[in-house]
Structure formats: structure tokens, C-alpha cells
Amino acid sequence: MTSDIVGVWFVYNGQTEQLETSVNQWRKATGAPVMFFNDAAAPLPSEIAGSLADYTELTTWPRNRNINGWAACHGILESLSTACRITGAGHAVKIDCDTLVLATGWIDRSAPFSGFHYGQGAWAAGMAYAVSAAALRVELDAWSSWWKDETFKAPEDAVISGRLIQRYGQGCCLHDFGKGLAGSYFADIDPARYAKVQVLTFQKCRAIKPDREVMAGYAAAGCPPL
């Protein structure tokens, strides 16, 4: 299976229902391949991973709960690069299991990095971002000579996006989170607000079961309802 993009999830046991909805929506929106990097410390059962993903690989680097720290950041970069190499994709799109990618117009295929930042911040949100195979190779080469500090606990989204934005500057394709193409779902906000949203995250919802039901409803429509 070849495509110009590949969807990548960093999975573990206990997230099946949201993950399935997220993956199915990706396939519906893109038809692109899916790759899982499964946490060996608490793996998603192989029969579930195999039924949802085209490719799976176990990872042994420590995730420090929500993918934090030096080893986790390096692991993300290596994994995204691996996904591009295995599938032949030009960009790897990292997606959280509680996030729906409803369309891919936010991804600039000519840019090294596409994502969503907060205002004019120098880093992007981690729920969904795309990195080119070429940028991943450059960053991994640079990373090998970068400092290694096992006490470093910063989150992967801030570190990886921050380094890429610093390296490529205006060459990155950055959108303002919450102002058009991406947003967080809140049950008490008019759904019309989401009419043009291409990436919708459910991470701020307080109730897990309604989360899954609402996610499934949005995904079934292919885009948020007017």
C-alpha cells in the first residue's frame, strides 16, 4: 500500500473505542495507510492492533505517561521516519486516538511541517501534525549529536514541533488552533462552530462514554454537522 501520507498512532492498552473511531475516520477521509507503534510496556492486544492497522511495531522507549522526555521525543521521530520508509509516504501524520482528521487540506505537501499552534507560539499542538520524510531525516541526523538528558521531561509536541519550527521558520505550514481548521469539542457549544473544522479533538471532554458516542456521530457524517 502506497500513499503520499501515512497516519500514525502511538497506541497502548485501554483505548480501543476512541482509537477505532479515529482510525476509521482517517481511512474514510484519506484512504491512506495506518501504522501503529504499540507500547511494549502496556500493549494494545495484537488482535485489535492487527484488525485496525496496516502495519504495527512494538516500541520499548519509555513514554512517561503522555509521551514526555528525551527518549520519547527521539522515539517519535524514529517511528515517524520508519512509517514513511515502510509505506513510501512523503509525510507521516501523527494522530492522537481522541482526534478525528476529517480532511487533510491543512497539510501542505511541500512543507516540512504542518500543524496547529496557539496564537503566535513557537510550538504546535500534538493532537495531529504532519512531518515530511525529508525533515525527519534531517532532524534525526541533528538529534544524534544533540544533548541527551534523561531527566528532560518536556512533552513531544512542544519539543518536536518547536525544533522543526525553529529550523524551518516560515517554511512550516501553521494554522491557529481554534480559529477555523481545528478545534476542541465542547458539548455546550453550537455545532455550527465546527462546520469547517478539518481536525477535531475530544481531549477536553469530561465524560468518556459520551465522548465515544459523539465522536462516532461526527465521524459517521464525515464532517461536523451544520
Is the distance from CB of 44 to CB of 36 less than 8 angstroms? Answer: yes
**Cβ atoms within 10 Å, residue 212:** 18
pLDDT at 216: 53
pLDDT at 55: 98
* Per-residue model confidence as pLDDT tens digits over 11-20: 999 777 789 9
pTM of the model: 0.86
Strand-pairing partners, residue 5, are: 91
pLDDT at 218: 46
pLDDT at 189: 55
Please compute, for residue 211, the number of CA atoms within 13 A of its CA located in the half-sphere on the CB side.
Answer: 22
Please compute, for residue 226, the number of CA atoms within 13 A of its CA located in the half-sphere on the CB side.
Answer: 0
Q: Distance of CA 98 to CAs 25, 67, 94, 173, 213, Å?
A: 11, 15, 12, 23, 12
Q: How far apart are CA 124 and CA 139, in angstroms?
A: 16
| Ranges of the chain with pLDDT below 70 | 1-2, 119-121, 144-153, 180, 185-195, 203-226
pLDDT at 220: 45
What the chain holds in terms of domains, given with CATH numbers, is 5-98+109-176 (3.90.550.10)
Q: How far apart are CA 211 and CA 140, in angstroms?
A: 36
Question: In 64-207, which residue ranges form alpha helices assigned H by DSSP?
Answer: 70-87, 133-143, 156-168
